[in-house]
Amino acid sequence: MHRCSGNTVPKKRIVKTPVFVFSIILSTIWLFLYSPGLLAGNPDGIKFFRNYPSEEYDDHVSNFYIMQDRDGVIYVANNEALMMYDGVRWEKPGGKLTKVFSLGMDSRGTIYVGKQSDFGLIETGDSGKPQYRKLSELLPGEEKDNVKTVQDICLFRGHVLFRTNNRIYRYKPGNTEPEIFFKAEDNSKGINGFYICGNDLYVKERKRPRHI
């Protein structure tokens, strides 16, 4: 005869759920909470950026520098133009500026442009539209005809600096004429770049760095 006791309590069975199961559950919840594209049935997945093909802005495929002004307008240094994009339209201030390689902005919000053989700034013209004004043509003597490609632009001690491979030109916003700020030595083989550390400017010549 089978005997059983009324005081016997059956043992509870503990089921251990693997840790990776919880990871899958949490990952699934996160995916649906932060990926509205999945809920909307977006067949292309989640897009983190938008691509602008050259057919859309109607110019060269090579872009060398991109920056944004205080109003949110995007400026693009293109191989065949300086382009502006306000989120709706593409424009080209100053007409067909070719070989644009560098851009900069001062504390007033003025946009500066460096290109092959000259440099300048963007200002509002008589028509109320932005236009390009060349600064390099105001350099003294034959220097204005010897400007190389402006590869970098930066602000230093209230001045705008334009760097080529053998000169650094300096322009004080509000003044009329730029000037030569630094000239590479004949045996230095040119300037590779410049860097600001605190209140000091370092020029990288191909042979050695120099402090200004």
Tell me the residue type at 54.
S
- Taking a C-beta distance cutoff of 8 angstroms, is the pair 144, 136 a contact? yes
pLDDT score for 172: 93
pLDDT score for 42: 53
pLDDT of 118-140, one tens digit each?
999 999 888 888 999 999 999 98
Which one has a higher pLDDT value, 14 or 163? 163
In whole angstroms, give the CA distance from residue 71 to residue 88.
14
The encoded tokens of residue 106 equal 């001062």
pLDDT of 167-178, one tens digit each?
999 999 987 789
pLDDT score for 2: 42
pLDDT score for 4: 43
Residue 8 predicted with pLDDT over 50: no
pLDDT of 84-116, one tens digit each?
999 999 999 877 788 999 999 999 999 999 999
- Taking a C-beta distance cutoff of 8 angstroms, is the pair 162, 192 a contact? no
